[in-house]
Each structure stands twice: as C-alpha cells, then as structure tokens.
Copies of this chain bind each other. A is one copy, B any other.
C-alpha cells in the first residue's frame, strides 16, 4: 500500500491513517447523574469540543453515573483502563491515595484565580501529576465552582460553643476541621439531605453555593446562609489513562488536554454566572435568608484546627510536605497581590 501511495503522490495521506474520521474512540466516565447541571453538562461540552476541533477524528463516549453506577469509582476506572478518561473531584480519592486530597481546594486556601495560577504558573499541576503518575494517570484541571458557601444553619452561630455538638453534613477535610472545634460532621447522600435537615437529624449542612443550592431548597428550612471558608475554589479534574494517552499521536494528546483545560475554564465562568443568577433569584424571592459571616472567634478556632491538621498531613510523607509548603508559599504571595488588587477594588467601589 505504501508503494501504491507514493506512486499516486499520496504518501502523506497514507502515512497518517489516524486522520480518518472516528479513528480515535475513547470512553469517559464522570461522577455525576446524567445531565447534572454545570458539573455533568460541562463534560458533554468537552466531548463535543474535542470532536469539533479534531474534525470528528476523536470521538468520546460519555458515561454518567446512571450508566456506570459508581460516583466515586472514576479513579479506579481510569487507573485500570476500563475507561480512558474520567472527570471527578480529586479529593474524593483520599482513600486510594491520601495525597490526592490537596488538588481540589483547601480550607482557608486560594480563590479560583489564585489556585489556577498555582496549578498552571506555579507547580500545582506538576505536583498533581507526580502524585497521579504512581497510578498511571495524567491529570488536568477541570472546572471550578468558585467560592463555596459555609453552609445553611438552622440557628445563628455566635461563638465556638455554638458549634459544640452541632451535627453538620460536611464531608472531607472541612469536616475534619469542624470536628477539631467540637462539631459532629457527617456525610449524607444528596437525596436525603433536605429531609435530614427538616427533621433535625442534622442542624446544618454545606452543599455548594447559589449555583447549585437553589434547587435543593435548603433556604426554606435553614435560613442562615454562612459565607465561605472551607472550600474557596473547588476544582474538578480530568483523569487520563497514561498508557492510553501515550499511545495517541501528539496532536491528539494536545487536543484532549487543552480541550479539558478550556472546558474547565468555561465551567468556572458558568459557575460565576449561575451563582449570580441563582443568588439574585434566592435573595429576591426568599427575603428571609440571612447571610452571615462567622464571628472572628469562630474563624480563628477553625483556622487553628485547620493548621493542626495540615501539620499532621505534612508529617505524613515527603510529597505531602512539599505540596503543603508549595500551596502555603504560593497563597501568601498571591494573596498580597489580591489584597491590593481585587479585594481593595471590591471594598472601595463594590456592591454598596
């Protein structure tokens, strides 16, 4: 065939058989129900973007958790090669590898733009890939919720004492920080949250922020909406099976990684938009919602609890220490700029 090709002056075409339509067929699994707003629909947009930019040469079949039945199985799916690509949140996989914890968001940590700078201009993505390489996975940032709210509370929190024994749905590292000040963190499936709050099984819960909270209806039964501290910039992540990636031509790897990065930025922008729309709707339609900041005393206690936990984490391994040091140094420097940049601006000309 190659000879015939050369004879007909078709050598270039023959040497690029991967350039045929649909030649690269990939399977992707994400953590969300089918058509789940923002988190899930953004993955459908990813597949469409990859197909469009590659002129149909790369086609991605997207499976939601309705299909694969395992919201928290994405890490294993991609590690094993059962799926080529995954989209989920890194911190769901602390049980698989405790160092995956750091690549979503950290209490008292960076905001979305600060954390993106750490990932892509600092050494954040490099450190994430160092952690994931041990599992044969390559990663890319996948979209940010922007600031998550501190949660919905049935009662006002005026002191650290008010947190003592408080039953709150708050999973992950934020939950551990809460436990450090005497609260009782629990995790409850999304579908049971409203009833748990209504019946007093829990006194408080955090979900996301206005972008996804409105449809949950928590404001009807727990009117105190506290501002954020525990997840200032929750970043989703794309996982790629390393072996599969390396089997693909360079242009296809580039399309897959850059389309993921772009889709992630698009999702971040969409989160800002949806939070704006939904917060406006909530605050106009439900004037009983009371936005509250935690008192300084409470913030100080939470910060101390957080620092103690980070010290434990840093003592765990060489890489956990390097990640925590990198985040802490980056945050310090970038916040100095944010303080005289966006923060001063918002305070001087802001919403007043």
Chain A residues within CB distance 8 Å of chain B:
1, 4, 8, 10, 12-14, 16, 19-21, 49, 52-56, 108, 111-114, 116-117, 120-122, 146-147, 149, 209-210, 225, 227-229, 232, 249-251, 254-255, 258-259, 261-262, 265-266, 268-270, 272-277, 279-280, 283, 291, 293-294, 299, 303, 330, 333-351
Task: List residues of chain B with CB within 8 A of the CB of A116.
Answer: 269, 272
A309, chain B: closest CB distance, angstroms:
16
Q: A268-B113, A273-B117, A277-B333 are in contact. Are A338 and B346 (CB under 8 A)?
A: yes
With beta carbons under 8 angstroms apart, the residue of B265, B348, B351 that contacts A338 is: B351
Q: Are B146 and A342 in contact (CB under 8 A)?
A: yes
Task: List residues of chain B with CB within 8 A of the CB of A334.
Answer: 272-273, 276
CA distance A265 to B119 in the complex (A): 13
Task: List residues of chain B with CB within 8 A of the CB of A262.
Answer: 258, 261-262, 265
CA distance A330 to B111 in the complex (A): 22
A10, chain B: closest CB distance, angstroms:
7
Q: A117-B273, A340-B149, A341-B275 are in contact. Are A335 and B350 (CB under 8 A)?
A: yes
Task: List residues of chain B with CB within 8 A of the CB of A228.
Answer: 341, 344-345
A272, chain B: closest CB distance, angstroms:
4
A297, chain B: closest CB distance, angstroms:
12
Across the two chains, which residue of chain B brings its CB closest to A23? Answer: B12
Task: List residues of chain B with CB within 8 A of the CB of A8.
Answer: 1, 4, 8
With beta carbons under 8 angstroms apart, the residue of B227, B279, B339 that contacts A344 is: B227
Across the two chains, which residue of chain B brings its CB closest to A256? Answer: B53
